[in-house]
Amino acid sequence: MKELSRVTLDPDVMGGKPCIRGIRVTVGTIVGLLGAGRSPEEILKAYPYLEPEDIREALAYAAWRAEEIEVPLKAS
């Protein structure tokens, strides 16, 4: 997967949730709006400081996380 330069994780911003470019818009907000039927154009109008690539990277990040698997550690 290519590096996602627009998705940032900072414990001082939104409690460390994945955000877009360090601003207080989370990946979850963007994905949730899309899932609720909002179009990218509607999201960009509601959040004018976002760019189309922000939405694409939010979706790419969410898809990557959805495919991630957790491997339980065995206690010794």
| CA separation, residue 6 to residues 26, 53, 54, 70, 74 (Å) | 11, 8, 6, 25, 35
Instruction: Name the residue range of residue 15's domain.
Output: 7-65
Q: Is residue 35 part of a domain?
A: yes
**Is residue 27 in some structural domain?**
yes
In a domain, 54, yes or no: yes
71 inside domain? no
To which H or E segment does residue 60 belong? helix 52-67
* 14-49 pLDDT per residue, tens: 999 999 999 999 999 999 999 999 999 999 999 999
User: Is the residue at 2 inside a domain?
Assistant: no
Residue 75 lies in a domain: no
- Categorize the per-residue pLDDT at 68 as very low, low, confident or very high, splitting at 50, 70 and 90: confident
In a domain, 19, yes or no: yes
CATH (domain of 22): 1.10.10.10
Indicate the number of domains in the chain: 1
Q: What percent of the chain has pLDDT over 70?
A: 92
